Amino acid sequence: MAGDRVTAEDNGDDTGFIREVDPRINSLVRPPIANIGLLVLVIAATAPKPAPYTLDKLTVIAEKSKIPVAIAITKSELGGADEIAAHFHGTPYPIFFLAEKGTVGGEALLEYLKGKTSVFCGASGVGKSTLLNRLFPQLQAEVGELSEKIQRGKNTTRATTLYSVGDGTYIADSPGFTMLDTEMYCRLEKEELPTLFPEMEPFIGSCRYTRCGHTCEEGCRILEEVEMGRISRERHESYCKLFREMKDLHLFK
Ligand SMILES: Nc1nc2c(ncn2[C@@H]2O[C@H](COP(=O)(O)OP(=O)(O)OP(=O)(O)O)[C@@H](O)[C@H]2O)c(=O)[nH]1
Ligand SMILES: [Mg+2]
Ligand SMILES: [Zn+2]
């Protein structure tokens, strides 16, 4: 039945994974879902204010886990959506512009979700539950207001719930996150970091130095692409920040 909830108990075990029918091909530890076919990164155009570094860390984790990414920009009627889209310029991630009312982008996203298991991730208050309710009115997920003062969400959605919405389509709503426990579940080598930025990946090996870190080196092809505006400067800054963290703190070892 469309709109059925699939809960952890249905697994018959206590692994915390909500659905693990097929051999696990990928998983995210937070939220705990296995066999994700799509990660929908939900970002509000204005409030709560997007945190680019957090978003980029999440796409890196998705890439590492081989989970395709799509971007859903909510509250786009309030302005600011283009800046967010620009942040992902050069990436292969499809971008959907959404608004609470009207049908902007909704149909296209609905079509894109068909036959996939998708998890909706994003900071508290960006409108994940609102969006899911609009796409699938039968869900009736709880929605909460932003706090007046700090314009952040109030963690309305408390648990990750996987819904079956028919035609082999599954949707997971998840609690908003403020921080990702990257170092806890993502074992990365710094050499592989550029491969986890798909817009940089084609240029690996084209730099002057074979051991180029792509942060500030002379003759770096990736830096050239940033200068030419073909790779987003902000995304590259996130790359540099992650690279430094890995180098200095060995967070990922
Ligand atoms: N203007 C406008 N407001 C929206 C839109 N989408 C959601 N909101 C509002 O944003 C607030 C938070 O929405 P939720 O759907 O509860 O957000 P959430 O991402 O599920 O939040 P958590 O469950 O706390 O993680 C509510 O007041 C919604 O009405 C939109 O497209 N436009
Ligand atoms: Mg919610
Ligand atoms: Zn380089």
The ligand minimizing its distance to the Cα of 130 is: 1
Among 41, 130, 142, the mutation site with the greatest number of ligand 1 atoms within 8 A of its Cβ is: 130
Tell me the C-alpha to C-alpha distance, in Å, between residue 81 and each of 84, 86, 107, 111, 220: 5, 9, 18, 21, 31
Domain(s) labelled CATH 1.10.40.50 in the chain stretch across 187-249
Percent above pLDDT 70 for the chain:
78
Centroid of ligand 3 to alpha carbon of 112 (angstroms): 34
Q: Which CATH class is domain 4-173?
A: alpha beta
Whole-number pLDDT of residue 45: 95
Q: Does the pLDDT of residue 13 top 60, yes or no?
A: no
Fold of 187-249: Ribonucleotide Reductase Protein R1; domain 1 (1.10.40)
Please report which confidence band the pLDDT of residue 8 belongs to, taking 50, 70 and 90 as the band edges.
very low
Give the chain's radius of gyration (CA, Å): 19
Per-residue HEC secondary structure of the chain comes to: CCCEEECHHHHCCCCCCCCCCCCCCCEECCCCEECCCEEEEEEECCCCCCCHHHHHHHHHHHHHCCCCEEEEEECHHHCCHHHHHHHCCCCCCCEEECCCCCCCCHHHHHHHHCCCEEEEECCCCCCHHHHHHHHCCCCCCCCCCCCCCCCCCCCCCCCCEEEECCCCCEEEECCCCCCCCHHHHCCCCHHHHHHHCCCCHHHCCCCCCCCCCCCCCCCCHHHHHHHCCCCCHHHHHHHHHHHHHHHHHCCCC
Q: Residue 144 CA: which ligand 1 atom is closest?
A: 16
Q: Does the pLDDT of residue 27 top 70, yes or no?
A: no
Centroid of ligand 2 to alpha carbon of 241 (angstroms): 29
Q: Residue 124 CA: which ligand 1 atom is closest?
A: 25
Q: Which of 22-31, 100-109, 123-132, 201-210 has the lowest average pLDDT?
A: 22-31
Tell me the per-residue pLDDT of 84-103, one tens digit each, with 9 for 90 and over: 999 999 999 999 999 987 66
Whole-number pLDDT of residue 178: 40
Centroid of ligand 1 to alpha carbon of 47 (angstroms): 9
Please report which confidence band the pLDDT of residue 220 belongs to, taking 50, 70 and 90 as the band edges.
very high
Q: Does the pLDDT of residue 69 top 60, yes or no?
A: yes
Mean pLDDT of 204-229: 96
Q: Residue 99 CA: which ligand 1 atom is closest?
A: 31
Whole-number pLDDT of residue 38: 93
The ligand minimizing its distance to the Cα of 147 is: 1
Please report which confidence band the pLDDT of residue 52 belongs to, taking 50, 70 and 90 as the band edges.
very high
Domain(s) labelled CATH 3.40.50.300 in the chain stretch across 4-173
Position with higher pLDDT, 27 vs 189: 189
Q: Which of 154-163, 204-213, 232-241 has the lowest average pLDDT?
A: 154-163
Please report which confidence band the pLDDT of residue 212 belongs to, taking 50, 70 and 90 as the band edges.
very high
- Phi-psi region at 205: left, alpha or beta (left = phi > 0; alpha = psi -120 to 50): left
Centroid of ligand 3 to alpha carbon of 211 (angstroms): 8
Q: Which residues pair with 172 in a beta bridge?
A: 119, 162
Centroid of ligand 2 to alpha carbon of 147 (angstroms): 14
Whole-number pLDDT of residue 249: 53
Mean model confidence pLDDT for the chain: 82
Does the global pTM surpass 0.85?
Answer: yes
Q: Residue 142 CA: which ligand 1 atom is closest?
A: 16
Whole-number pLDDT of residue 100: 81
